[in-house]
Amino acid sequence: MSLVFATGIFWAGVTHAAVETYTIDNAHSSISFSVRHFFSPVPGNFSDFEGTILYDPENPANNSAEVVINVRSVDTNSAKRDGHLLSGDFFNADTHPTMTFKSSRWESTGENKFKVTGDLAILETTKSVVLDVTLMGSGEVGSPAKPKFISGWTAATSLKRTDFGIDYGPTTIIGEDVLIEITVEAIRQ
């Protein structure tokens, strides 16, 4: 009887890695995109966004990510083009000021690599997209008096803008495919 009780205490004391909560550090992260105009890719980015990553080092099924992007933060290095992108021809920012992404599934594809499936909402359309995600690393940084624990991530995907109701202009002039690249530095809470 005492052996069973002692074994029970031992197992109760074993801890499993907990899910870690990270907040995206906007100042050290980026969401960029590229769309073909005639024959050349035109780059742009969104500078105002916030999000959270839940990361379980032992079980990717417990991972999740959510991001909200302020559409008005679009920057393509052309004020005229940015204004047009905010109009009803594209993002309709007065009615739809944000885009959102919420993951629904993380699948490990190798060491620190994942296929992340989630719902991307743009305008009035929500579609499932898959991102190729890499955990670049994590660790404690900062001074001993004020340490913080961070993680670094990259993600990439492509989507068709017309799938989200952004169908302004012929696709021979404005490409249909949008390439998206994301870099994230996130702070553990």
Instruction: For 84-142, give the DSSP string.
Output: HHHSTTTT-TTT--EEEEEEEEEEEEETTEEEEEEEEEETTEEEEEEEEEEEEEEEEEE
Domains defined for the chain, CATH in brackets? 17-188 (2.40.128.110)
Can you tell me the distance from the alpha carbon of 65 to that of 32, in angstroms, rounded to the nearest whole number?
Answer: 18
Whether the per-residue pLDDT at 8 is higher than 50: the answer is no
State the pLDDT at residue 17. 66
Whether the per-residue pLDDT at 1 is higher than 60: the answer is no
Whether the predicted model's global pTM rises above the 0.85 cut: yes
Whether the per-residue pLDDT at 181 is higher than 90: the answer is yes
The size of the chain, in residues, is 189
State the pLDDT at residue 13. 44
Mean pLDDT of the chain: 92
Task: Write the pLDDT tens digit of every residue in 113-131.
Answer: 999 999 999 999 999 999 9
* CB burial string 75-93: b at 16+ within 10 A, e below: bbeeeebeeebbeeebbbb
State the pLDDT at residue 2. 39
State the pLDDT at residue 159. 97
